Every structure is written in C-alpha cells, then in structure tokens.
C-alpha cells in the first residue's frame, strides 16, 4: 500500500534548494531556467504555484549574496540563506534542506551551475506523485567529464563498494526528498554527513531518474580533487568499519608471518648452524612493522577523529542572514 499523500491526491509545494559558492555568474541563468520550469509544472498541476527557489550561499567571496538579495526583493519566490563562512557543500546542502523542511511538501536539491539537467525535475515530481519519498538523480554517462574526473569517479564508486558503503553509482546530490524524508534526515546528527548514503538509510521508497550532464556554462568547478578525496574519506569513515577490520586482519597476518619467520630462524640456528648475523635481518623487519603500525594508527585515527567531532557537538553550519 502506498503511504504517500501526493500519490494521486494533493498537489505538493516544492522547494528547489541550490547550494552555491562563488556562483555569481550562474545565478541569473539558474533563476531564469528554474522559475520558468516551476511555472510550467504548476500549469500542468504537478506542483503548487507558490513553489520556490532556495539558495544557500556557502560563504561566497564574490557578489553571489548581493545578487540573491536583489532577486528576492523583486520576487518572493526566490529565497535564500547566507552561511557565516564556507562550511562545505554537504553542510550547505543540509542547511538548505533543514530550512525548507517546514515550508514545503518536498525539496529538490540541484547545483546552482545547472550542469545537471533541470528538466529532470519534472520526472522527479512525477515519481513523488507515484508515492516515492526519495528520488535519486543518476547520470546517464560521464562524457562531459575530463579523463581524470572520470577515472577518479570510477575509483570512488569502486572503493565505496569494496568498503561496503551502500550508494548508487553516478548519483551525486541531485535528488528529491519528501517532507517526511526531510524530517527523518533531521534525525541524523553526525557532523560529517554523507548525504548520498544517508538518504538510502531513511527506509522510505526509493526511485531513480536518469539525466544528462552538460558542460559547465559559467565559471569554474568548486569541487577540487582534494575536496572529492575528503568527501570519499568522510563517506568511508561514516558508513564502513571495513578499514578497521582490514587493520585487524593485517595484524593477524603479520603475527602469523612472524611465527613462521621465528620458527625458520630457530631451525636454521639449531640444525644448519651457519647463521651469519646481519643488519638486514634486524632492520628490515623493524622498518616493515613500523610502517604497518603507522598505517594502522592512521586508519584508527580517522575514526577517532570522527568520534571527536561528534562528541564536541559543534554546529554543522552557522547562518548569517536569511531571506524569506
């Protein structure tokens, strides 16, 4: 039985959440495209006419917030939230979803550069009407990416699969969450949240919509390789204990190897008798075991760091201004 009030009944109010950081060149284009789409969907009876855009300025240093403020003065269907500094894409996105949760029936997140095809929003809303609470946007291909980006993305999803993290390949943060999914998401308090996996843990019905990604029209990408690696690290340490188990297995293998080596040395000393003391037999095991210990400490340290951040209970973001 479908337990979703928008399945063949009420018309939902949609909030489109757009996290942005130094996207002044993209904002006007995004507003033009998305407001037109909202009017079309409202005329088709898929969403209400008071559906709106909600920008989240993640500590931009250009005039992004000035533009959002000016747009809000002319059109109250354009709202915004300015964070006090750059808290990161995931925090900015979560801040936007949290702010709109009580003022919409469903929220759709999309990057402000609109590389993700905004026309897929129509299919997102149709899936909501079918009773799905979580609708994931999945790329058809990665042809618009450079070679390095394609290879790192492939490696990222393969690594997540090996580590046992449940995510959908080629799904980033283009998704729809119903009101109850938004309320459930608010129950996750961890500071380094990984939304791609968290949204699959909400327990509600999940659907996917495939879309194309176009070349970036304005500006440059703000997602550097270091940020992608940090996101991958947070995803692994937030959802997988496989690295800790690998450390335990590695320790056990080294222990067995040391027993075998010890037995060989004793046998060679007692029965062969030509053992020549040398620095290699001493220094090489020391270097090897020392390196393994540092590696293991590094892995454990990442988990301890996550615990440390959680225990401190510092805010995941701080709002400076809000436009209604």
Whether 63 shows a pLDDT value over 80: the answer reads yes
pLDDT digits (tens, 9 = 90+) for 181-196: 999 999 988 877 888 8
pLDDT digits (tens, 9 = 90+) for 25-37: 999 999 999 999 9
CATH number, domain 14-222+315-323, options 3.40.50.300, 3.40.309.10, 3.90.550.10, 3.30.420.10: 3.90.550.10
157 burial (CB, 10 Å; 0-12 / 13-18 / 19+) is middle
Rounded average pLDDT over 13-17: 97
Rounded average pLDDT over 41-65: 95
- Give the confidence band of 125 by pLDDT, cuts at 50, 70, 90: very high
Whether 162 shows a pLDDT value over 70: the answer reads yes
Whether 4 shows a pLDDT value over 60: the answer reads no
CB atoms within 10 A of CB 64: 24
pLDDT for 157 equals 77
pLDDT for 77 equals 95
Residue-wise over 202-228: b if at least 16 C-beta within 10 A, else e?
A: bebbbbbbebebeeeeeeeebeeeeee
Whether 156 shows a pLDDT value over 50: the answer reads yes
Rounded average pLDDT over 275-289: 63
User: Rounded mean pLDDT of the chain?
Assistant: 83
pLDDT for 221 equals 62
CB atoms within 10 A of CB 193: 19
| pLDDT-above-90 percentage for the chain | 46
DSSP string, 219-277: S--S--HHHHHHHHHHHHHHH--HHHHHHHHHHHHHHHHHHHHHHHHHHIIIII-----
**pTM listed for this prediction:** 0.77
pLDDT for 8 equals 45
pLDDT for 1 equals 35
| pLDDT-above-70 percentage for the chain | 76
- Give the confidence band of 217 by pLDDT, cuts at 50, 70, 90: low
Task: Parse the chain into domains and list their residue ranges.
Answer: 14-222+315-323, 242-312
Higher pLDDT, 258 or 209: 209
312 burial (CB, 10 Å; 0-12 / 13-18 / 19+) is exposed
pLDDT for 175 equals 96
- Give the confidence band of 134 by pLDDT, cuts at 50, 70, 90: very high
* DSSP code for 34: H
pLDDT for 277 equals 64
pLDDT for 2 equals 41
pLDDT for 163 equals 74
């Amino acid at each position: 039985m479908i337990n979703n009030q928008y399945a063949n009944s009420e018309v939902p109010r949609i909030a489109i959440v757009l996290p942005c950081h130094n996207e002044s060149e993209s904002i006007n284009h995004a507003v033009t495209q998305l407001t037109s789409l909202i009017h079309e969907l409202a005329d088709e009876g898929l969403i209400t006419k008071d559906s709106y855009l909600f920008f989240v300025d993640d500590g931009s240093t250009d005039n992004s917030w000035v533009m959002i403020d000016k747009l809000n003065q002319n059109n109250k269907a354009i709202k915004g939230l300015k964070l006090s500094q750059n808290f990161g894409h995931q925090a900015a996105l979560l801040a936007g979803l949290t702010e709109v949760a009580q003022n919409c029936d469903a929220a759709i997140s999309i990057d402000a550069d609109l590389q993700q095809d905004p026309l897929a929003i129509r299919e997102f809303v149709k899936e909501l009407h079918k009773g799905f609470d979580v609708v994931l946007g999945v790329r058809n291909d990665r042809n618009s990416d450079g070679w390095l980006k394609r290879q790192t993305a492939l490696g990222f999803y393969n690594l997540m699969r090996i580590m046992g993290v449940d995510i959908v390949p080629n799904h980033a943060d283009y998704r729809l969450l119903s009101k109850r999914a938004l309320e459930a998401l608010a129950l996750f308090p961890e500071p380094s949240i990984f939304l791609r996996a968290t949204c699959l843990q909400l327990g509600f019905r999940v659907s996917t919509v495939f879309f194309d990604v176009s070349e970036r029209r304005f500006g440059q990408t703000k997602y550097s390789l270091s940020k992608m690696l940090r996101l991958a690290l947070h995803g692994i340490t937030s959802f997988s204990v496989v690295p800790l188990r690998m450390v335990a297995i590695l320790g056990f293998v080294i222990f067995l190897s040391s027993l075998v080596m010890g037995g060989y040395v004793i046998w060679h000393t007692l029965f062969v008798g030509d053992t020549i003391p040398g620095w290699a037999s001493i220094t090489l095991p020391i270097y090897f075991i020392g390196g393994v210990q540092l590696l293991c400490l590094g892995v454990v340290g990442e988990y301890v760091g996550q615990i440390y951040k959680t225990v401190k209970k510092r805010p995941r973001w701080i709002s400076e201004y809000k436009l209604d």
